[in-house]
């Protein structure tokens, strides 16, 4: 039985309240539009509830616990340090609640209506929203689809009691004794680091010849070295083939460099990528153009082939990153308001919160070569930075890439402490068209980790101060 179906009209209907959807809604409201947001789960989406935020909280907790094990060299001895994992989860949950509550407050302040349920397109300017037995129609002038993505499930490893996605892994009530992670990308490496630091025996199976395959080989090597110190077993060129459940866990069958192996563990964590949530919205039925992978085809303003409908975030081409979704959200909302905004992806930072952290922005050396650019490089080590040594984090480097003739900054790769924060300076440099001299002549506070960027610029220009040329 369907209870009452009513039609409501709104200027902008946003489908999804993640970091793309809620930003789009707020920006559209700021620009004078009446806005409603359809969300089937929680405000904040995957990122705030079961992704970016809770994972980074767990990472910080694991780092803190690990640091207590290695303070004797500084003259600080700690006894009987233990992990209360239930308390860790409670603390993590408090952070999530605070942030999602903040989104709710912002919605209230901007008079944004929240519609619980799932949307299905009926026409090019109307959707039906299903919530339990209730179904209502919403007619819109413009719509922004921001439904995000979900973990890919492998046929041989269906999610269940012993096979986890990142969502379930972040919600475990007890620390697993052992864990096999299928996929050595950023999610697998981040969560593998967390559990290894908390004492779990972790095995990582990665199909390519290195973990974090999207980064230059020198960067993951430092991460791999640290993981091995934590007792993590890394198997590259490894293909997970199947599993057998036992009384207390699973046995994973895998082909590793051409040899058959079996690995026992309490749980399996599958982190082989994410799939766009576009398959249950009725998009093809209303004539929207999608790729074979289910991604929505859009222009530089996020507009689909249906002129009043926009799409952003994980459901369009490009990396599935929360900050990319938020950026596209503002562009789409401004385009709806008649502003000449459009996307420019030359400075999207990519960050992995592993140990040490990894970050990149712009182009790397391989891409510079492929594009035929005559470039110069400045690579400065954290080992020559006073602040890095004083916080016991001297591993890694900052590498800047610049055009040889103009000295225009083209990209950076960072592996080391606070890489996730340091990369922002280079992102700004690329965005504003800065040169190596601009970075070199910017006075950086001393002693700080950020000085490494300045030193890398000096090195690229041929006159480093704190290392020999």
Residues with a known catalytic role: 446
Report whether 462 belongs to an annotated binding site.
no
d(CA 148, CA 188) in angstroms, rounded, equals: 19
Is the bond preceding residue 447 a cis peptide, omega within 30 degrees?
A: yes
Report whether 206 belongs to an annotated binding site.
yes
Report whether 416 belongs to an annotated binding site.
no
d(CA 33, CA 149) in angstroms, rounded, equals: 27
Report whether 183 belongs to an annotated binding site.
yes
d(CA 318, CA 243) in angstroms, rounded, equals: 33
Report whether 312 belongs to an annotated binding site.
no
What would the DSSP string read from start to end of 411-441?
EEEEEETTHHHHHHHHHHHHHHT-BHHHHHT
Cβ pair 160, 268 in contact under 8 A: no
Report whether 189 belongs to an annotated binding site.
yes
Which among 22, 6, 3, 31 is positioned nearest to 341, based on CA atoms? 31
Report whether 273 belongs to an annotated binding site.
yes
d(CA 41, CA 95) in angstroms, rounded, equals: 18
Report whether 314 belongs to an annotated binding site.
yes
Quick one: how many helices (H) and strands (E) in the chain?
13, 22
Report whether 367 belongs to an annotated binding site.
no
How many other C-beta atoms lie within 10 A of the C-beta of residue 285? 11
Q: Give the distance from CA 8 to its chain's centroid.
A: 35
Report whether 184 belongs to an annotated binding site.
yes
Cβ pair 239, 207 in contact under 8 A: yes
Report whether 65 belongs to an annotated binding site.
no
Report whether 365 belongs to an annotated binding site.
no
Q: Tokens in use for 118?
A: 């799932």
Q: Tokens in use for 227?
A: 């993981």
DSSP category for residue 381: E
Report whether 285 belongs to an annotated binding site.
no
Report whether 397 belongs to an annotated binding site.
no
Report whether 348 belongs to an annotated binding site.
no
| Binding-site residue positions for FAD | 56, 147-149, 314
| Binding-site residue positions | 56, 147-149, 183-190, 206, 273, 314
């Amino acid at each position: 039985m369907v209870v009452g179906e009513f039609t409501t009209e709104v200027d902008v209907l946003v489908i999804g309240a993640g970091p793309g959807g809620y930003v789009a809604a707020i920006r559209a409201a700021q620009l004078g539009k009446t806005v409603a947001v359809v969300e089937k789960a929680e405000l904040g989406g995957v990122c705030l509830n079961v992704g970016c935020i809770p994972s980074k909280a767990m990472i910080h907790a694991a780092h803190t616990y690990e640091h207590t094990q290695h303070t004797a060299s500084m003259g600080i001895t700690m006894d009987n340090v233990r992990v209360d994992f239930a308390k860790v989860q409670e603390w993590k949950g408090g952070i999530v609640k605070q942030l999602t509550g903040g989104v709710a407050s912002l919605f209230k302040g901007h008079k944004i209506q929240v519609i619980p349920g799932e949307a299905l397109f009926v026409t090019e300017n109307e959707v039906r929203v299903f919530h339990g037995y209730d179904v209502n129609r919403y007619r819109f002038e413009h719509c922004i689809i921001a439904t995000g993505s979900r973990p890919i499930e492998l046929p041989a490893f269906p999610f269940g009691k012993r096979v986890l996605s990142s969502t379930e892994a972040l919600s475990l009530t007890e620390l697993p004794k052992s864990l096999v992670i299928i996929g050595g990308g950023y999610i697998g490496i981040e969560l593998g680091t967390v559990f290894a630091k908390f004492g779990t025996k972790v095995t990582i199976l990665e199909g390519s010849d290195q973990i974090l395959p999207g980064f230059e080989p020198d960067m993951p090597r430092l991460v791999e070295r640290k993981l091995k110190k934590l007792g993590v077993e890394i198997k590259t060129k490894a293909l997970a083939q199947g599993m057998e459940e036992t009384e207390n866990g699973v046995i994973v069958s895998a082909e590793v460099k051409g040899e058959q192996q079996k690995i026992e563990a309490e749980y399996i964590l599958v982190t082989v990528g994410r799939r766009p949530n576009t398959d249950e919205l009725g998009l093809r039925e209303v004539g929207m153009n999608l790729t074979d992978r289910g991604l929505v085809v859009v222009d530089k303003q996020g507009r689909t082939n249906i002129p009043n409908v926009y799409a952003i975030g994980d459901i369009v081409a490009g990396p599935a990153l929360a900050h990319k979704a938020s950026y596209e959200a503002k562009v789409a909302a401004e385009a709806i308001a008649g502003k000449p905004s459009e996307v420019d992806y030359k400075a999207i930072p990519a960050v992995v919160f592993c140990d040490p952290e990894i970050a990149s922005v712009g182009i790397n050396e391989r891409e510079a070569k492929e594009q035929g650019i005559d470039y110069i490089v400045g690579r400065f080590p954290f080992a020559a930075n006073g602040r890095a040594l004083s916080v016991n984090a001297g591993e890694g480097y900052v590498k800047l890439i610049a055009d040889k003739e103009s000295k225009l900054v083209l990209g950076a790769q960072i592996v080391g402490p606070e890489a996730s924060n340091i990369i922002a300076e280079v992102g700004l440099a690329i965005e504003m068209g800065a040169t190596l001299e601009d970075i070199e002549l910017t006075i950086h506070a001393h002693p700080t980790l950020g000085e490494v960027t300045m030193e890398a610029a000096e090195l690229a220009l041929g006159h480093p101060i704190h290392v020999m040329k």
